[in-house]
Structure 1
Amino acid sequence: MHDIKEHIKGLTLAQTFIPGTHNSGSYILSNTGYKETLASKYIYTQDETVLNQLLHGGRYLDLRVGRYSRGQEWWLNHDIFSVHPLSDILHQIKQFVNATKEIVILDFHGFPVGKQSIYLKPYLVPHLTNERNDRNGGVISIPQVSLGQLWASDRRIVLSYNNAAISKEFNFYPPIMQKWGDKDTLPQLESYLESIMPRFCRNHDAEGRVWAAMAQLTPRALGVLLDEYGGLRRMAQVVNRQLDGWLRNRAWSPNVVAVDFLRSTAVVPLAVAANLARARAPAGNNCSYPSNPARL
């Protein structure tokens, strides 16, 4: 996004189309030679490291944290399954932010193992503090902040925590609403996304709050046990080729769109084109402009 900074610096986070990844820490690299099992088919939602997800254009990370009493205390989880140490992921994020001028949203949205803990912030901030040792660790908490203000302040880490009381106490960005269809078929997911795009765009743009459309299928427990879906990658293949067309051809106005297997979508270039179009829109009307600038 920094490449088009001069065009989009007046947009707020809620007015921006932000590409993201679902369960960002649940990744496995395809070149590691791991043997796929029934469990692994439904654990891994990405095939790139978090650093590579960011390098490929993802700017919203959906993070699910597990807290354990032994060994590494904090992990990135997919439900009850621990996948990668949180420290490794935070190192990748800091590496990217320090090497670029990009803005990154970290949504600590779920805590499937262990209690939601106020002790997470003292752990996070030292890892995220930028090289200037800013006392707020580069974290921003103002809902209506513009992209230009984020760049000017160099506080480019937007840290959100899915608990309003804790967010307020520790000056995090307000909780980000994730909109889940909880659908396991493509027609159901399409219908759900069609129903939420205009409504939630209007509501959240007015409030200056970020919201996320979770654009993936959700397998049912019995379907997983019977392997009816063939795994999350196969489910993503069904969705992603259609999602690109929906975003390109419909008058949708997404904010964050979080996907599985980011590189199998065109969500990043679509977001860039949409944001350039939104920046040209009349003041106060950014939300009504579609993803596809050809529709203007």
Structure 2
Amino acid sequence: MSKEHWMRDLPSELRDLSIINLAIPGSHNSMTYGINSKSKLSPDAETAIRRWHRFFPCFVRRWSKNQNSGILEQLHLGVRYFDLRIAQKEDKFYYCHGLFAMEVFEPLLEIRQFVETHPEELLILDLQHFYALTVAHHQQLHKELIQFFGHRLYSTADGSLKDCTLNRCAEMQRNLVIIYRRCPIPLPLRFWPSYSWPTPWPNKASVKKLQSFLEDSLLSRQPQQGYVSQCLITPTGRYIALRLFFTLKSTAKRVDKKLQPWIQEQIPGPFEPKEDPRVNVFLADFVNLKDGQFCNWVVELNTKLQGQATDNLEKDNP
């Protein structure tokens, strides 16, 4: 079932909640579907990857691609949070993950068309890592992104993230949030800094350790912040060596299967400083597995909020 309009279709009381209090599906290394047989090594490639690529480029591609569905398919599956890694080459910006993918603005054109034709959906672009960018490159990228998305950007001048609700953003015609991390120069008002939306990296090679990390790190979340739970494992050299004929996709299938119960028991929504923190964004590899089951699990969590809203209403009106 398509999730093309899932935000629009939320009950009005949920559209009045901040986006940091909703459960939102995200894709890890969102643009790596653009990696192909012509892709060259990118600046983030580690020494071992460079060595492997010399003799087994196909093998490196298999472990560099975290998604194989294009941006429109991801959007229709319900993904609203995109994890982006950007490198510079010959005065152009490209997506990367060990290998170069496509030029930065190619898929952003599809994203711009989507936010213009879906004014009641809201997207979050998380510019997570940068490679081989100088201060001048960052200045150039800031300018190009602001010109490209224009009035659609919900900026720090429009209010806090707590004020960023779907209904309010639709009225303001703002339905795109850009998080710009690890920037060496002051950020323009149009972008949100790292601390506004923490995304702790698990760096675990087992699902059991991953789940423990997700549970423990969530406890550090603050009520005024967004938050990303990265539901993915990070393969070590040993992990890959023992699974030479595997791919990241087969790894993602295993993570989905084992982590499903934990994801489905989570609760989104607002919380007070002394209360247990609640979930927000969930990040995964290969979000199109089994017709987007991961996205379905996450979006469904919002129905728990609807029940809470009804309970609160009954308490207020006995």
> Would you call these one fold, judging by a TM-score over 0.5?
yes
Shift of residue 29 of structure 1? 9.2
Aligned to 1:148: 167
Question: Residue 211 in 1 paired to residue 196 in 2?
Answer: no
* TM-score (norm: length of structure 1): 0.80
- 2:245 and 2:216 map into 1 onto residues whose CA distance is 25
Over the aligned positions, Cα root-mean-square deviation in angstroms equals 2.8
Question: Residue 25 in 1 paired to residue 46 in 2?
Answer: no
Shift of residue 251 of structure 1? 6.0
- 1:226 and 1:38 map into 2 onto residues whose CA distance is 13
Computing the radius of gyration from Cα coordinates, the structure with the larger value is: 2
Shift of residue 45 of structure 1? 0.5
Structure 2 gap segments, 5+ residues each = 1-6, 37-55, 269-277, 313-318
Amino acid at match of 2:255: V
| Pairing partner for 1:84 from 102, 105, 127 | 102
Quick one: structure 1 residues 232 and 169, their matched pair in 2 at CA, closer, same or farther if it must change by over 3 Å?
A: same
Contact preservation (8 Å) 2:206, 2:233:
yes
Secondary structure of the residue aligned to 2:295 is helix
* TM-score (norm: length of structure 2): 0.75
- 1:103 and 1:228 map into 2 onto residues whose CA distance is 39
Quick one: structure 1 residues 182 and 228, their matched pair in 2 at CA, closer, same or farther if it must change by over 3 Å?
A: farther
Secondary structure of the residue aligned to 1:180 is coil
| Pairing partner for 1:248 from 243, 264, 267 | 264
- 2:187 and 2:133 map into 1 onto residues whose CA distance is 21
Aligned to 1:138: 153
Q: Percent identity?
A: 23
Moved more, 252-261 or 212-221: 252-261
Aligned to 1:44: 65
Matches within 5 A, 1:251-266: 253-264=278-289, 266=293
Amino acid at match of 1:76: Y
Quick one: structure 1 residues 169 and 140, their matched pair in 2 at CA, closer, same or farther if it must change by over 3 Å?
A: closer
Question: Residue 98 in 1 paired to residue 116 in 2?
Answer: yes
Secondary structure of the residue aligned to 2:246 is coil
Secondary structure of the residue aligned to 2:288 is helix
- 1:104 and 1:190 map into 2 onto residues whose CA distance is 26
Contact preservation (8 Å) 2:153, 2:190:
no
Aligned to 2:40: none
Contact preservation (8 Å) 1:108, 1:160:
yes
Amino acid at match of 1:96: F
Shift of residue 28 of structure 1? 5.0
Shift of residue 55 of structure 1? 1.4
Shift of residue 214 of structure 1? 1.0
- 1:161 and 1:220 map into 2 onto residues whose CA distance is 27
Q: How many residues align?
A: 266
Aligned to 2:202: 181
Shift of residue 53 of structure 1? 0.7
Amino acid at match of 1:69: E
Shift of residue 227 of structure 1? 4.4
Quick one: structure 1 residues 165 and 115, their matched pair in 2 at CA, closer, same or farther if it must change by over 3 Å?
A: closer
Amino acid at match of 1:247: I
